[in-house]
Structure 1
């Protein structure tokens, strides 16, 4: 079996990597960027870091700072018009996964027209759009190194998954110093999101030798440092490890795909506005326990790579260690249950059939080691409702 691997053309990684932005633009032949970000990045001064670098090199730029946490197509259309009319030659995506996903979608529509529904899975996005330079400020989504974006159709509340090499950023600048001011809740949620990416990529039915190596490295980096970085913001070695792990996990799942956890988490974001990383955290222990029997060795190896067991001679022991650690992470990082998050129980249970259909429609559950029916997904949602 062969695997087609897609990566950014340029990756700048490490403390101070942001200072390489002007040189990266020059390498790509880009002279007129438009910054795509959100209001928080402006308020916190992150946008100033970018504009100061550009001004120092006399590089003109534009700015769109109205990206949303859960981007919908309606929310990106003003930016598409801005980019078209301004005749920018690249986009600088500054922020978390939502900002980077938004920039990918803007580049696609500004370059090729149409609507996001025209590009949703299973139709691959092969078209090469204007370059996107991704600058993540969270250690979690891995969007800077993935060929995917998720945009909501506001008219149907469907989270549309679009994938293909045309959505891969042309460059990624991964500077862990940009994450040092992250609030604990965001650091925790994005970190668990990254761990979920690594685990799901490793157990995915589409896993391959290349993606396995990225997933293994990511599990080692994130699994052994996530709690440290969340409990001690001054632990720079842990912060750097989780940031690199998140990027490697993004490379892993971009080339192997995610699975049932992600398929089920997206509807929670659409219907109950649960942040993506948090919804993954809510589901990860329950779905891991459900799936272990179909990939026992792989899940045991996950425990070993995360440093929970020394070997997998006793797979059952490794499985229990993995489940215990996933629950411990949630408890330590104060991940609420859906009930504690404030989701209305009546509305939640009445929406379960629709959410199960939407989860299956996303395609991700088809990559899970254990394939779940609609009824089984409904049962898993019920289990996760108040599961600790």
Structure 2
């Protein structure tokens, strides 16, 4: 079956005041709930997650060391420090601060001065660092985000979606397991200044990160992850009127996600779940697999309603690379779409020869569809 690449889930079993929300299974990427998930939003301080991801990737490559020090420029001090009256680590103008401390401040207390200093120390300027953020976003599969500064300070040209923010959080958890525990630290004390984690959900309902954000225009949002129950979930809500409403709605979403579903193992890791047609490829089809194993999460007591299909956007054109996300496995209960699992190419498919391309072209011309 063919169709849109991002199916919309019907949401009869949960309601949120958030205009933008998503709940994702960390292991498989399956979507359990979404509302306005692909609408562009101002990310506010949740944009700092991308700054952290870029910096930690450079540490992993050896291009940056946690013990390196970065000087606090006048721009970082004036724009993000005490004079700005925003969230800050109160770093002194001209002082040098370790990368590790700048990252702790960025993650725990959302220090704008720390975040700007990181960007300047890595790339020379906020603008140059934003270029790194956008390049990295493309590399890790964020499809609807554009960053113009590292801190999330308001800019009409900066946007993301709650889906992209969830995918970014999932990337950080998966790729930086040794550093991820910093997100769950209750406070950060530096230079005699003690500041509590601005994510007040940390420590509740198994939540061990990640980041809050708010501006007058965007409202209040938060990205969290929890290990409560049988699996890790990543959730995002955004656009709420108050910080308390943000906290309450995320508690409700996490509680619903961790208590309302039963887990049914469906496909082992590497199992071919289905096939998709490739137009003009050396092979006419490509196998589809989950990112890892695929489990189905059904609302408790609804095992008898289960059915599913695979959708993807036509035409799929070669070359197709193994690991490309090209389809979704859609799980229905009584004609209601309750779960969407991303599917990936199981192998490479190169461009076909002239005979194959001509044959596929004739099929499309004659029937408007391709052979399965």
Structures share fold, TM-score greater than 0.5:
no
Instruction: Compare CA radii of gyration and give the structure with the larger one.
Output: 2
Q: Which has the higher helix share?
A: 1
Structure with larger RCO (C-alpha < 8 A, sep 6+): 2
Q: Which has the higher strand share?
A: 2
